[in-house]
Amino acid sequence: MTTAPNLLVVGLILLLASAATYGTLRLTYGERPAYVHVRWAPSVDTSTREQLEQVHSLTRPELREGRTWGYYLTDLSRDNIQRLVTSPAAEDTHNLHRTAFRVWGTAPRAPYLSENPAWIAALLEFLTRAFVGLGGLAVVVVAFRTWRARAEPTTGRP
């Protein structure tokens, strides 16, 4: 069973590599803007709406229906989202968690807002997922082998 510790080490190294590639991605590219909807209160006029769009980093406005607009939210911070969803000017939102103050994981995303090449971001995303998958698989295999070895009955033979 000498391969189990080696496989465990490989799995842990891959998980550390995933953390490093994810960190590099976030430090270099930031987060991708999320597409959200905001239904503005009836009292919000055009100039107020435009001012609120700037305050909350809502870009590329697109009228959806009535008072509902679609935007790419570029400031994904908890504080910005909390200010937006609790504002009396924002009657309703979509793709924003209104109590955890974060973007829903299913929200569509725009490309990164970076001068760096997009292919590098795609490569870093791929490597992060690959390292997590392979590292996690290695750890699960070691855990399964360890569990199975402990569950096997001992026969008492030399």
Tell me the per-residue pLDDT of 86-113, one tens digit each, with 9 for 90 and over: 999 999 999 999 999 999 999 999 988 8
pTM (2 decimals)?
A: 0.69
SS3 at position 6 = helix
pLDDT, position 114: 85
Q: How far apart are CA 58 and CA 87, in angstroms?
A: 14
Least confident of 32-36, 62-66, 101-105, 151-155: 151-155
- The pLDDT, as a whole number, for residue 156 is 56
Q: Exposed (0-12), middle (13-18) or buried (19+): which is 1, by Cβ within 10 Å?
A: exposed
Helix (H, G, I), strand (E, B) or coil at 73: strand
Structure tokens, 117: 């090449």
The residue count of the chain comes to: 158
The label of the residue with tokens 């750890």 reads 139
